[in-house]
Structure 1
Amino acid sequence: MTSAALPDVPSATSPDISVATARLRVLLGDRLWQPDDPDFTAATRLWNAAVDTAPALVAHCLDAEEVAGAVRIATACHLPLSVRSGGHDWAGRALRDGGLVLDLTGLRAVRVDPDAATVTVAGGASAADVLAATAAYGLVVPTGVVRDVGMAGLTLAGGYGPLCGRFGLALDNLLGAEVVLANGRRVTADADHDAELYWALRGGGGNLGVVTELRYRAHRLPAVLAGMIMFALAEAPAVLRGYRALLTEAPDELTVMAGFLPGPAGEPVVFVCPFYSGPDLDAGLPWMRRLRGLGTPLVDQVGPLPYADALRMFDGGMADGNHYLLRTRWLPELTDGALDALVAAAREISSPFSALALHHFHGTASRVRPGDTAFALRADHLLAEVIAVWAPTGSPGAHRQWAERTSAALAPHALPGGYPNLLAPEETERVRLAYGANWERLRRAKHRYDPRHVLSAVPTLPPSTHPG
């Protein structure tokens, strides 16, 4: 499925917003939004209210051909281009100053083939959209923990989540994608069609093209044994030491998050959040008893639930409208030094809204060969998230310092690089290190599919990528 590509034009030409506006108006009618349109404000409002980027236009597309047309117009008129799906990238890369936003929130269809156990997902669908469609069939697609996150953005960079141990990352379940390339051409990428693009999409972020449709492998999973167990901050060292010991024995079916969340009295609480996804949920009960025994639970809410319902425990945990700054580290293990750094950070937390999270990577996800996908880190590890949150009226200084101080304290215990979906835009060296031996191949793919760096706002490749 292709459409005519635009000829190359000099990259030094200034953006021509007036011409782009006229052409996009013909293509989209009243679904082209400018700053004085009410829909523009909603389409450029992101989860992180600290983002103050000011795009010039929003193209609210309803199908892949409209996306392709908008890409061709933006390229011809030299407009910076970005893509908005779930709007949950904390760094605000869904928007570019003076640019055109491709708003994919109108592409949310989900088609389930229960006989083939596959799910086809439009490029603007969220995890909640996907799970709502699959629930009737007792099927799931691996997701992250936040239901509002767009499936495309989650998948293209990795997709850590509660089913990682049994079913792998979200990208490990991606069977293929429909993509609009930076020149406006529409292509299919899967194991049999453009295998190099398929390889690069699985970990390379949204840098290779605009993904308008994704096809996933689905898994039968009627329910999980899951929930939240919380302990007082004073018990954090013992709880995390017990958590560390449990991870060395956990089967594929058991993936356990941990960390610190805001507590009811203004002091953080330490939590463990197990998801047991085995076919016999009773086999997970001894693991739940062991987790409860790590201390004296303040909250103990674990039980059998449909997977989609289990994720609801995270709804509202990170509210829209606050200001956010994230830092991330890959920990090969929870050493004593890393454990101490996390406990110290919880005790010194600068805001009652901030949090620390440890995502458990193991099992099926760790048995993929590093070269099989662009996502390269396949050894067991923990993804540590340092999440600084403050009210819009607050000053960012103390919260930024807390996040940077915590990241620096974890650095001696961490692997090089970090999860590209959570790295700051300026952390280009850590992005390079994240891909390890896959970096040069990914750079070549970027130059092949987007030689003029049209797609340079989204994670994870720096815009200067060139095979050089």
Structure 2
Amino acid sequence: MTSAAPDVRLAATLLREALGDRLLLPGDPGHAAAVRLWNAAVDRAPALLARCVDAEEVALALRVARRCHLPLSVRAGGHDWAGRALRDGGLVLDLTLMRRVDLDAPAEEVTVAGGATAADVLAVTGPHDLVVATGVVRAVGMAGLTLAGGYGPLCGRYGLALDNLLGAEVVLADGRRVTAGPGHDAELHWALRGGGGNFGVVTALRLRTHRLPAALAGMIMFPLDQAAAVLRGYRAVIADAPDELTVMAGFLAGAGGEPLVFVFPTYVGPDPAAGWPWVERLRALGDPVVDQVAPMPYDEVLRMFDGGMVDGNHYLLRTRWLGTLADAAVEALVDAARRITSPYSTLALHHFHGAASRVGAGDTAFGLRADHLLVEVIAVWRPGDDPGRHREWAERTSAALAPHALPGGYPNLLAPAETDRVRLAYGDNWDRLRRAKRRYDPRGVFSAVPTLPPSTPSPPPGPGPG
């Protein structure tokens, strides 16, 4: 934040007075658990952790950090694989106690506190047959997901999570609290929808809800030797898919440890039964060994992924955007599945189309609005295992997909060092996003999340890595 030396002792004194035992220092009871993330590969040592309960406390913590020259990070859901919620020697603004969810069913919107997860929100909206656009994992924080994008099973019908952000309460770096929306701080509202946690601390989000009593969804899995045919057939299905149908695909470990290729349709039309012909078309891609498709509440759709990402394992992610699933990309994915180094590792393809693709390219900061697939390469290993071969598998897979990929990549998944791809990810929105950064965070306080580097000048346009 400045070149002055951090004054941790003064910051601790000031924050302890306001927060009491909700200020955690190394050695305090609860500190070890509070700095433990889902990805156990992350090993950071923040100097202070402030467990805030409202926007006023967040504002106080920001003012103390500024006065005491402490670098900052913000922990909401804490599901960023790179561990950017924690910062060595810094002050962590921990929002995990801020999980209130207030539903206004007649207005078809819900107000969600900054630390709330998808599970928290669906627990409130579900009894009213209402949903919000989420990712595929219930434990992910809604703020981090929404600010950078939010691919999920409702993408085709309702867009990305960020497309459903009606407004946000934000505490800026100087401690000021503002409400961003179409009618007030509209430029901040634009930047928040895709620009990530680079402009302030979002302490509340106002999200659009959608009526959805049930979805037709579930896992269909096929043997690995059918993977190429299944993926080519999947390509044909998603080319025809209506908005109501969003289909995830990829590779997961089967009961015996060998990877299986999967497709995961989610049909969310007014009549779930209208999705059965699409399910039958997907079933016919091969000889299913698992078939779990059924009508179910949306919360149950996401529960089917609860066991996939286990707290305490070590994770490394790589990502690519594919404009089409070309035969060469199919071959690269199948080869990667055959070479997979861990029964916990996964390849996932997220389907972007429909309502999400009809949002104007400049209407939000999110940079890619053409139909595409988001590929997640998720290397996972147990603590104590040598990480080298798992990392090499992820890097090799990403490199094999690169010749077939679009420029840039999903900023929420890019590695901290991939700043060149970040710039390409935002496309024509990059310069406007940089101006918003200078306007709302001119001192670069929010620099722990490097999707928008705070100090380097904008590079000239030109080609770059995929």
Q: TM-score, normalised on structure 2?
A: 0.97
Q: How far apart, CA to CA, are the structure 2 residues paired with 1:380 and 1:86?
A: 28
Q: CA offsets per residue over residues 291-323 of structure 1, 9 Å max, x none?
A: 111100000000000001111000121101010
> Structure 1 residues 459 and 153, CA, compared in 2 at 3 Å: closer, same or farther?
farther
| Structure 1 counterpart of 2:352 | 361
Deviations 1:316-337 (A, max 9, x none): 2110101000000000010011
For residue 200 of structure 2, the aligned residue among 204, 209, 212 is: 209
Per-residue displacement from partner, 1:420-453 (whole Å, max 9, x unpaired)?
Answer: 0000000000000000000000011111111111
Choose the corresponding residue for 1:93, options 84, 87, 112.
84
Query: Which runs of 5 or more structure 2 residues have no equivalent in the other structure?
Result: 460-466
3-state secondary structure, aligned to 1:248? helix
Identify which of 91, 101, 104 aligns with 2:95: 104
In the other structure, the counterpart of 1:286 is 277
Q: 2:322 aligns with which of 324, 328, 331?
A: 331
Q: Secondary structure at the match of 1:243?
A: helix
Q: Which residue is 1:7 aligned to?
A: none
| Cα distance, 1:459 vs structure 2 | 4.8
**Aligned with residue 188 of structure 2, among 197, 207, 220:** 197
1:3-18 aligned within 5 A: 11-18=2-9
The answer to whether the 8 A contact 1:123-1:211 is kept is yes
**What is the rounded CA distance, in whole Å, between the counterparts of 1:459 and 1:287 in structure 2?**
40
Q: Give yes or no for the alignment of 1:43 onto 2:34.
A: yes
Could you say which residue in structure 2 is the equivalent of 1:457? 448
Which of the numbers 230, 236, 248 marks the counterpart of 1:239? 230
Structure 1, unpaired ranges of 5+: 1-9
Q: Are 1:30 and 2:21 matched, yes or no?
A: yes
Instruction: Work out the CA distance in 2 between the residues paired with 1:333 and 1:96.
Output: 38
Task: Return closer, same or farther for 1:449/1:466 CA change in 2, 3 Å cut-off.
Answer: farther
Partners in 2 of 1:190 and 1:40 — Cα distance? 36
The 8 Å contact of residues 174 and 217 in structure 1, kept in 2 or not, is answered as: yes
Q: CA deviation at 1:466?
A: 5.1
Give the SS at the match of 1:328. Answer: strand
Determine the C-alpha separation between the residues in 2 that align with 1:193 and 1:460.
25
Kindly state the Cα deviation for residue 38 of structure 1 after the two structures are TM-superposed.
2.4
- Deviation at 1:464? 2.7
| Aligned residues of 2:419 and 2:450 also touching (Cα < 8 A) | no
Q: What amino acid maps onto 1:241 in structure 2?
A: R
Matched, 1:348 2:339: yes
Alpha-carbon distance between aligned partners in 2 of 1:39 and 1:153, rounded to the nearest angstrom: 24
Question: Residue 462 of structure 2 aligns with which residue?
Answer: none
1:102-141 correspondence runs (5 A): 102-141=93-132
CA contact (8 A) 2:348 2:377 kept: yes
1:273 aligns with 2:264: yes
Displacement of 1:467 in angstroms is 6.5
Distance (Å, rounded) in 1 between the aligned partners of 2:300 and 2:367: 31
Runs of 4+ aligned residues of structure 1 deviating over 4 Å after TM superposition are 465-468
Percentage of matched positions with identical amino acids: 74
**Structure 2 letter corresponding to 1:325:** L
Query: Counterpart of 1:83?
Result: 74
Taking structure 1 as reference, are residues 72 and 465 closer, same or farther at Cα in structure 2, changes over 3 Å only?
farther
1:52 lines up with 2:43 in the alignment: yes
Distance in 1, Cα, partners of 2:146 & 2:4: 34
1:398 maps to which of 389, 402, 414: 389
2:173 aligned with 1:173: no
Letter in 2 for 1:59: A
The CA distance in 1 between the partners of 2:458 and 2:427, in whole Å, is 16
Query: How many Å separate the matches in 1 of 2:170 and 2:289?
Result: 48
Q: Are the aligned partners of 2:437 and 2:454 in contact in 1 as well (CA < 8 Å)?
A: no
The root-mean-square deviation of aligned C-alpha atoms, in Å, is 1.0
Contact 1:457 1:463 in 2 (8 A): no
Judge conservation of contact 2:170–2:203 (CA < 8 Å) in 1: yes
SS of 1:202 mapped into structure 2: helix
Which residue does the alignment assign to 1:3? Answer: none
SS of alignment partner, residue 422 of structure 1: coil
| Stretch of structure 1 that moved more, 172-181 or 21-30 | 21-30
1:188 matches 2:179: yes
Contact 1:28–1:59 (Cα < 8 Å) also in 2: yes
Contact 2:362 2:429 in 1 (8 A): yes
| Conserved? CA contact 1:179–1:211, under 8 Å | yes
Offset, 1:463: 3.7
Residue 5 of structure 1 aligns with which residue? none
Partner of 1:6 in structure 2? none
| Whole-angstrom CA distance in 2 between matches of 1:369 and 1:466 | 26
Residue 379 of structure 2 corresponds to 388
Q: Is contact 1:225–1:284 with CA below 8 Å preserved after alignment?
A: yes
CA deviation map 1:120-145 (0-9, x unaligned): 00000000000000011111000000
- What is the identity, as a one-letter code, of the residue corresponding to 2:368? L
- Does residue 146 of structure 2 align to residue 155 of structure 1? yes
Q: Distance in 1 between matches of 2:31 and 2:92?
A: 10
Whole-Å Cα distance in 2 between the matches of residues 44 and 224 of structure 1? 37
